[in-house]
Structure 1
Amino acid sequence: MLIGQNICPIFVSRKIIEKMNNKVEYSYEEAVQQARDYFRGDELAATVWVSKYALKDSWGKIFENSPEQMHERIASELARIEAKYPNPLKKEDIMELLLDFKYVVPQGGPMTGVGNDLQIASLSNCFVIGHERPADSYGGIIRIDEEQVQLMKRRGGVGHDLSHIRPTGSPVLNSALTSTGIVPFMERYSNSTREVAQDGRRGALMLSLSIKHPDAERFIDAKTTQGKVTGANVSVKIDDEFMRAVVENRSYNQQFPIVGDEPMFKNTIDARTLWNKIIHNAWQSAEPGILFWDTIIRESIPDCYADLGFVTVSTNPCGEIPLCPYDSCRLMAINLYSYVENPFTKKAKFNKELFKEHVRKAMRLMDDIIDLELEKVHMILEKIGTDPEADDIRRVERQLWEKIARKALQGRRAGLGITAEGDMLAALGLRYGTPEALEFAVEIQKTLALEAYRSSVEMAAERGAFEMYDTERERNNPMIARIREAEPELYATMEKVGRRNVAMLTIAPTGTTSLMTQTTSGIEPVFMPVYKRRRKVNPSDKDVKVTFVDEVGDSWEEYNVFHHKFKTWLHINGYDFSKMSDDEIDEAVEKSPYHKATSNDIDWVSKVRMQGAIQKWVDHSISVTVNLPEDVDEELVAQVYLTAWQEGCKGVTVYRDGSRAGVLVKKDSGEKQGVLPNKRPESLEADVVRFKNGKEEWIAFVGLYNGIPYEIFTGKKEEDTLYIPPRVTKGRIIKVLEADGAKRYDFQYDDKYGYTNTIGGISRLFDEGFWNYAKLISGVLRNAMPITDVVNLVTSLRLDSETINTWKNGVARALYKYIPNGTKAKGGTVCPECGQESLQYQEGCLVCTSCGHSKCG
């Protein structure tokens, strides 16, 4: 059972009920229709907005049918907070920034939660948790697990570090005698993440570990086993000493604890051997990510206050916000494209003065959202106080939110960033990746940083500095030094009055935000200016052009999808995209500023250098992925990581095209499964798969040849004829010849005492119709059709019997688990949540690798 943030509470406050009664409710279809008009026919933007951001209560009832209503809700709340302080922004000023997603876009939690009193959830996008003093014990480990779940149920992504857990084989003072190391706890935290539903998607988790930890290699390898740690991103924290050891090809010392002169455990390794392991796994499966930890700590302004509890320990799930334990962050993006006047013309110009004004206002709104978050935390604490559980059960959750509130108040951390970098550059006639584009991008980020800090200093004079502010503590920080050099007067004022926020800048991935702004995402270039998408069609329908028929006979129609701003370029340059042939589209792309400027076109060196240069003006970090062609070798991945370290990046992730497809699978299985034997072996290993169809208990026996499904027997479980202990998940299917020459199939399993038990004739225990169809499907399996196609074939069957239709749904459910992790969805691979072409199977469930959206809830 999923633990969901929107599960109806047993006790609902009278205030919430009254607010619900005073609101107009819309059906999903009504809201999508109105939002579609708002987004000028953009179906994906409309459905994502309604599903993710429209005002809802805990039952999923929808109370907004247009983003304009959402902006009205957000602006009203922000204006209410502004009115508490001198020189407040008026509601109409805030609406001007928010409307049409044109200039300032709150992201995720703030867009959903500001002004929503119908749900009790946090506004924070992300949290990091941990112990202020290392707690290397079961109690400490379980406490983190519980806190992680409590945060995820309130909509937050979570990160935490595992470096405090003792390595494998270390002595422990309990009945285990030695430690199991970190990998079992990675799996625990991963499973907890998968159990928490967040309104149509699973929670997001980052697990990190220091390269200095003796279990670093096990950590790096943990996700290479199918089905392991599927609910978490993993990143290894690499220090400068390790990188120098790699470059100089020498040894490196690991120890536990990772800090201290008297470790209880020491280990000397060859640095390059472990480095090659990291590179191989990243080349193969895009993980682990890399965090250059010394760079992060060296540049971190909050770590100037480490002794006051602000020591950075890990990052949020996407890596753009390094945080100390129990700190949190809220995100907001500025749409860079909207500051380009006369885009895609020779008169194109960036309105820097308007940009500066809006950055200062956006920073004020970010600070207002901190106040709104503190109000939300107060609501959460009130809810906990009225919960019916015993106080000792509620204590952990209450103390967690009290610590989060305290950290938010102490540092007032913010997360102001950008989106539409790629479109801004294209609109100005600059090709992403060129020296000219890099120089301009850095100048814009520098301007943003200086104006954001100027606004924070102005707020310190009006509202008060964050409570720990100390000029002397920060004097030698590199980020502060750059501000001092660029703006001496700003720094002098900051010395006198302080700063409102301890840190305030980031560049996050803006998947769904970019759908709303209809621009490129974050700092990234355009994915593709135009691409083809498929939709399943009925060949007999009118006005349908069947362009593709798949392996199971389904018909698909292909159509072109144009990037919104590429359509703007086409319009400005006199093209009618609705009438263009494929050849004409290709010619237009070559003439546009998007030519050779897509995510797969950009030279990796240019992208890494751009990240490193922009990072100098971002006090948190940047979430960016270096995309590489499928045919690159591991040495190139190593060069990307090494260059990123040398250029001053705080972290880096690579994605080699196709690297997630067909990897992380069982040995000798996967898409390249080869030919299976036509003659059935006398005995096959078998999995037992239990599931429910409605209220009925069903069971399946899946015969496996080298781990690949070869045959299936499934149907409704009858207690009197087919009892197998719940703990039994594996056994053998034996073909037995009977005296009259007939054959049957028996299932054998070993009980807990080691005795072999046999259930005779499983082929006859199920309905005869089930068995006939099972023989047909087993024949398809034996001809090595990929499991994805087998499942599609089974689900596409249209049978007259309701009983058989129920049965075939059970067959599909039983086979889903054998689809190799990383297999891309067929036909429509676009995520309905973030719009990226990144839907892949993970443990039989379609999951978006960009935003975490899951069709399994």
Structure 2
Amino acid sequence: MSTDSKNRRAAVLPTPPIPADLPSIQLTDNARQVLIRRYVRRADDGSPAETVDEMFWRVAYHVAKVEESWNVDINARAREFYTLLTARRFFPNSPTFTGAGTPLGQLAACFVLPITDDMGRESTGIFQTLRDAALIQQTGGGNGFSFSRLRPQGSLVKSSAGQATGPVGFLRVYDHAFGEVAQGGSRRGANMAVLRVDHPDIEEFISCKTNENQITNFNISVGITDAFMRAVEADADWDLRFPDVHHPAYRGFSGTLEEAEAAGIPIKTYRTVRARELFDLIVRQSHHNGEPGMLFLDAANRYNPVPHLYPLEATNPCGEQWLGPYENCCLGSVNLAELFGPDHSVDWEAVRHSVEIATRFLDDVIDANQYVPAVPQLSEAAHRARRIGLGIMGLADLMYHVGIRYGSPQGQEFAAQVMEFVRYQAMRTSVDLARERGPFPAIRGSLYDPANLRWSPPAPLEAYTSDWGRPAVDWEGLEADLRQYGIRNAAQTTIAPTGTIATVAGCEGYGCEPVFALAYIRHVNDNGRDLQLTYTSPHFQRALEEAGLDPETQQAVYEQTMRDGSCQAVEALPESIRQVFVVSADISAEEHVRMQAAMQAFVDNSLSKTINFPAEAGPEDVATAYLLAWKLGCKGLTVYVTGSREKVVLETHATLQAKQKTPAADAADQLHIWHDAKKPRPRSLPGYTYTVETPLGKAFVTINENGGSQPFEVFINTAKAGSDTAAVSEAIGRLVSYVLRIASPIEPSRRLSEITRQLGGIGGGRSLGFGPNRVRSLPDGVAQVLEEYLQERQERLAQSDADAPIQAPLPLIQAAAATPPLAAVSLPRIGDLCPECGQAAVVNEEGCRKCYACGYSEC
């Protein structure tokens, strides 16, 4: 059993009954299913051991319980937290839901661990850090690492007279180890590897993920300096350097390149390259498959709140959280989609109240978190700076409501004003907490040191010109209070990926991203049946109704929008609607970058965002985006060119057809969804087991299904393990399973039918039975079972269609039966195959990957 499963089934710590007068959370069926599958604790038999409301009360109570130390009424505080959560105005990160009130009690999502150039002496050495990271990953946390302190590949190691493995070699060691941890049952670990742009092995690092099937448990990013970017602009030379590892002062040294220079350790130049050529290599690789990303080291360190403790060198897996050695951050997001005001306005008072309570919640999480006891440095680092990461989700929903185009100059200003208000209210609350409970322990020497305050109020990139009724923010008054009281949290804001929590909260726009599509096919599990629903944005529907469009015109608009998820080509729509209701593909790369920069100005850490490019974008477009992001003060950038991965992510039906161009068949008549090199196996699958007597004895044949009731794998058991018969049985099962999971335009059930035809009738040394019951060999017996399974499957599907309830067409979610057959309509392709539900619905957003069909998220 995986650590995650054990945690979810462990005994809950003492929790009082949920008060009867507290309201229940209102959720869609899809959101409730996701929440139950992800967060609700389970009994030993796998059944839910708590209701959804009890889950929220467990989290609220055990986070509030730490306030006993401050003589706060715990029940009153728990009620306050519960109300905020069940109103869907704020959700913490997933580990807080799964870990609060449990013996494990690990509530943080992201960590950064140090790696020094040491094989065993130091606690931060290569393999000690690997051990620490594996323990963290078992609890559900993701890790970030800078490999920049490891000596270059091929360097002489005096102690062994050998050659150094180098950063990329040890990155592969880490990747393999984390893959084995994932194989133990938990979901695939999320990790980030960073290497400085001046490291001698940087070119190998940039290209290490050219093959997408290598280093699969890591995102990679290059640590970029301002000096490098200036060299790129000037087309100057660039030195690849590393401290002289044979200098006496290097032994035991664990600092950065700059710290080595300051310590008098000679810096050896290994090679000199053209900065622009190295930049172009990064750009070409990013254009190829989205990796590596760029992390701007100097931009991050200019706003490092605790420079006296460490320089910032690495981030968490999605790049939004810069952290020092052993630091972690408990993240949470205010749901702007629940903070609408009347008449297309913003309820700023609701925003203020939500941010205030959420900030207190996250500060309490620091004390409620039990971290990983075997790595005590984690708790020490967390309490030293008391970092929190409060962000947003549903920004795009709010912009639809207010009537502002995402990406436009007005949209950039609106996003900046929202984030400034969130940042101000979070800091205001953190200062109040410092007055009540004291500032973070490492405040002396920090930017927030009251005796030497070096923090200055943030400012927008462009002067504001619009008024959305937002209350004024008093930065001068806050600065005065900082000098008197200090602040409770060294960092306050981060915009993190919101995959699962945004699905539960009902947001259309995840995090600070634009909406992915206004209409698409969503797959919902309906009592074991895969039900295809046509989803249309409720905000879009309301806009059509307010515009006075009649039902027939609305239906025509839905059908046109379904073609590619966007409404920009729908001529029947008023220009005012087309202007506001843009989706990710409608927004230029420059607009994406400027939106990110506008928000970054008011986020003291960073944010997860993906800059999407159309399929026809070239490397020069990616280069322009990187340069713009650096000049505008972004702290990092992740790009994705549509269709650039072999495992396609964000792709429309038209793009897919253009890539296929099959002369032997009409692409319009095919729905190519079985395209992965090899489909990953989910943690659990439903299946059917049959028995058949064969000339080699009784055989047990199990066929497991994945999404869409498609056969996914076959297991064949005969005789005793270790025998030739058992080996042959296992071999047949493996080959059949591989054929079912391999890339193919043919759906698995049709593949299995062909396998049945090929195996059927194979004769052996003797037969068993007579007439229709005759089994000629083990392969023939397997074929008969597979044929029986396929017949029963067809009957089940037919019965499911017959049993499906007849409903009137709904404008938002319509049963697939009300739409034309899949092969006859031009549906937008959602993305990769989901490892959990098997649907082609995994999308690259927020620097992460999430499934629009079932709510699965890698973050």
The separation in 2 between residues aligned to 1:46 and 1:419, in whole angstroms, is 18
Number of the residue aligned with 1:153: 138
Q: Which one is further off, 651-660 or 488-497?
A: 488-497
Number of the residue aligned with 1:256: 242
Q: Is the 8 A contact 1:107 1:332 kept in 2?
A: yes
The one-letter code sitting in structure 2 at the alignment partner of 1:493 is D
**Are the structure 2 counterparts of residues 795 and 456 from structure 1 closer, same or farther at C-alpha, using a change threshold of 3 Å?**
farther
How far residue 443 of structure 1 moved from its aligned partner, in angstroms, is 1.0
Number of the residue aligned with 2:220: 234
Equivalences for residues 271-670 of structure 1 within 5 A: 271-302=275-306, 304-306=307-309, 310-342=310-342, 347-373=343-369, 376-377=370-371, 381=373, 398=374, 400=375, 402-470=376-444, 473-474=447-448, 480-482=456-458, 487-519=475-507, 520-533=509-522, 559-570=533-544, 581-583=555-557, 586=561, 587=572, 592=577, 597-661=582-646
**Are the structure 2 counterparts of residues 453 and 95 from structure 1 closer, same or farther at C-alpha, using a change threshold of 3 Å?**
same
Equivalences for residues 45-56 of structure 1 within 5 A: 45-56=31-42
How far residue 230 of structure 1 moved from its aligned partner, in angstroms, is 0.7
How far residue 245 of structure 1 moved from its aligned partner, in angstroms, is 1.0
The one-letter code sitting in structure 2 at the alignment partner of 1:268 is T
Q: Is the 8 A contact 1:415 1:504 kept in 2?
A: yes
The separation in 2 between residues aligned to 1:766 and 1:269, in whole angstroms, is 57
**Are the structure 2 counterparts of residues 427 and 105 from structure 1 closer, same or farther at C-alpha, using a change threshold of 3 Å?**
same
Alignment match of 1:789 (pick from 739, 746, 769): 746
How far residue 162 of structure 1 moved from its aligned partner, in angstroms, is 0.5
- CA offset digits 1:355-391 (Å, max 9, x no partner): 2232122211111111111xx24xx53xxxxxxxxxx
How far residue 560 of structure 1 moved from its aligned partner, in angstroms, is 2.0
Number of the residue aligned with 1:702: none
- CA offset digits 1:705-754 (Å, max 9, x no partner): xxxxxxxxx99899676999xxxxxxxxxxxxxxxxxxxxxxxxxxxxxx
Q: Residue 236 of structure 1 aligns to a residue in which SS?
A: strand
The separation in 2 between residues aligned to 1:338 and 1:854, in whole angstroms, is 22
The one-letter code sitting in structure 2 at the alignment partner of 1:448 is V
The separation in 2 between residues aligned to 1:275 and 1:177, in whole angstroms, is 32
**Are the structure 2 counterparts of residues 143 and 477 from structure 1 closer, same or farther at C-alpha, using a change threshold of 3 Å?**
farther
**Are the structure 2 counterparts of residues 806 and 454 from structure 1 closer, same or farther at C-alpha, using a change threshold of 3 Å?**
farther
The one-letter code sitting in structure 2 at the alignment partner of 1:480 is S
Q: Is the 8 A contact 2:839 2:853 kept in 1?
A: no
**Are the structure 2 counterparts of residues 150 and 807 from structure 1 closer, same or farther at C-alpha, using a change threshold of 3 Å?**
farther
Number of the residue aligned with 1:99: 86
The one-letter code sitting in structure 2 at the alignment partner of 1:332 is G
How far residue 612 of structure 1 moved from its aligned partner, in angstroms, is 1.1
The separation in 1 between residues aligned to 2:172 and 2:661, in whole angstroms, is 28
How far residue 266 of structure 1 moved from its aligned partner, in angstroms, is 2.6
Number of the residue aligned with 1:266: 270
Number of the residue aligned with 1:803: 782
How far residue 486 of structure 1 moved from its aligned partner, in angstroms, is 5.9
**Are the structure 2 counterparts of residues 59 and 612 from structure 1 closer, same or farther at C-alpha, using a change threshold of 3 Å?**
farther
The separation in 1 between residues aligned to 2:31 and 2:231, in whole angstroms, is 48
Number of the residue aligned with 1:730: none
The one-letter code sitting in structure 2 at the alignment partner of 1:95 is Y
Q: Residue 272 of structure 2 aligns to a residue in which SS?
A: strand
Q: Is the 8 A contact 1:627 1:655 kept in 2?
A: yes
- CA offset digits 1:499-531 (Å, max 9, x no partner): 111111100111112111211111111111112
The separation in 2 between residues aligned to 1:834 and 1:489, in whole angstroms, is 54
Structure 2 segments unaligned to the other structure (5+ residues): 244-256, 461-472, 562-571, 650-658, 665-680, 682-686, 692-697, 701-715, 757-772, 774-779, 789-827
The separation in 1 between residues aligned to 2:66 and 2:726, in whole angstroms, is 63
Q: Residue 224 of structure 1 aligns to a residue in which SS?
A: coil
How far residue 46 of structure 1 moved from its aligned partner, in angstroms, is 2.3
The one-letter code sitting in structure 1 at the alignment partner of 2:365 is I
Q: Is the 8 A contact 1:204 1:852 kept in 2?
A: no
How far residue 225 of structure 1 moved from its aligned partner, in angstroms, is 2.6
Q: Is the 8 A contact 1:291 1:651 kept in 2?
A: yes
Alignment match of 2:109 (pick from 104, 112, 125): 125
The separation in 1 between residues aligned to 2:344 and 2:31, in whole angstroms, is 27
Number of the residue aligned with 1:193: 178
How far residue 17 of structure 1 moved from its aligned partner, in angstroms, is 8.5
The separation in 2 between residues aligned to 1:477 and 1:650, in whole angstroms, is 23
Q: Is the 8 A contact 1:831 1:848 kept in 2?
A: no
The separation in 1 between residues aligned to 2:500 and 2:840, in whole angstroms, is 9
**Are the structure 2 counterparts of residues 516 and 852 from structure 1 closer, same or farther at C-alpha, using a change threshold of 3 Å?**
closer
How far residue 491 of structure 1 moved from its aligned partner, in angstroms, is 1.1
1:69 aligns with 2:54: yes
**Are the structure 2 counterparts of residues 644 and 58 from structure 1 closer, same or farther at C-alpha, using a change threshold of 3 Å?**
farther
The separation in 2 between residues aligned to 1:435 and 1:505, in whole angstroms, is 23
The separation in 1 between residues aligned to 2:857 and 2:513, in whole angstroms, is 26
Q: Is the 8 A contact 1:412 1:502 kept in 2?
A: yes
Structure 1 segments unaligned to the other structure (5+ residues): 25-34, 382-397, 538-543, 545-555, 665-670, 677-690, 699-713, 725-764, 810-823, 841-846
How far residue 156 of structure 1 moved from its aligned partner, in angstroms, is 0.6
How far residue 141 of structure 1 moved from its aligned partner, in angstroms, is 1.3
- CA offset digits 1:625-660 (Å, max 9, x no partner): 011101111100110111000110000011111111
Number of the residue aligned with 1:740: none
The separation in 2 between residues aligned to 1:215 and 1:486, in whole angstroms, is 48
Number of the residue aligned with 2:209: 223
Number of the residue aligned with 1:135: 118
How far residue 161 of structure 1 moved from its aligned partner, in angstroms, is 1.0
The one-letter code sitting in structure 1 at the alignment partner of 2:85 is L
How far residue 251 of structure 1 moved from its aligned partner, in angstroms, is 0.8
The separation in 2 between residues aligned to 1:323 and 1:182, in whole angstroms, is 20
Q: Is the 8 A contact 1:431 1:593 kept in 2?
A: no
Q: Which one is further off, 354-363 or 454-463?
A: 354-363
**Are the structure 2 counterparts of residues 334 and 248 from structure 1 closer, same or farther at C-alpha, using a change threshold of 3 Å?**
same
Number of the residue aligned with 1:838: 842
The separation in 2 between residues aligned to 1:531 and 1:271, in whole angstroms, is 44
Q: Is the 8 A contact 1:300 1:477 kept in 2?
A: no
Q: Is the 8 A contact 2:198 2:239 kept in 1?
A: yes
Number of the residue aligned with 2:564: none
Q: Is the 8 A contact 2:340 2:398 kept in 1?
A: yes
The one-letter code sitting in structure 2 at the alignment partner of 1:803 is V
The separation in 1 between residues aligned to 2:17 and 2:754, in whole angstroms, is 44
The separation in 1 between residues aligned to 2:493 and 2:333, in whole angstroms, is 10
The one-letter code sitting in structure 1 at the alignment partner of 2:458 is R
How far residue 855 of structure 1 moved from its aligned partner, in angstroms, is 11
How far residue 573 of structure 1 moved from its aligned partner, in angstroms, is 5.5
How far residue 254 of structure 1 moved from its aligned partner, in angstroms, is 1.3
Q: Is the 8 A contact 1:508 1:522 kept in 2?
A: yes
How far residue 82 of structure 1 moved from its aligned partner, in angstroms, is 3.5
How far residue 673 of structure 1 moved from its aligned partner, in angstroms, is 13
The separation in 2 between residues aligned to 1:106 and 1:59, in whole angstroms, is 28
Number of the residue aligned with 2:77: 90
> What is the identity percentage for the equivalent residue pairs of Structure 1 and Structure 2?
27
The one-letter code sitting in structure 2 at the alignment partner of 1:151 is I
The one-letter code sitting in structure 2 at the alignment partner of 1:126 is C
How far residue 59 of structure 1 moved from its aligned partner, in angstroms, is 6.8
The one-letter code sitting in structure 1 at the alignment partner of 2:328 is S
Q: Is the 8 A contact 1:251 1:269 kept in 2?
A: yes
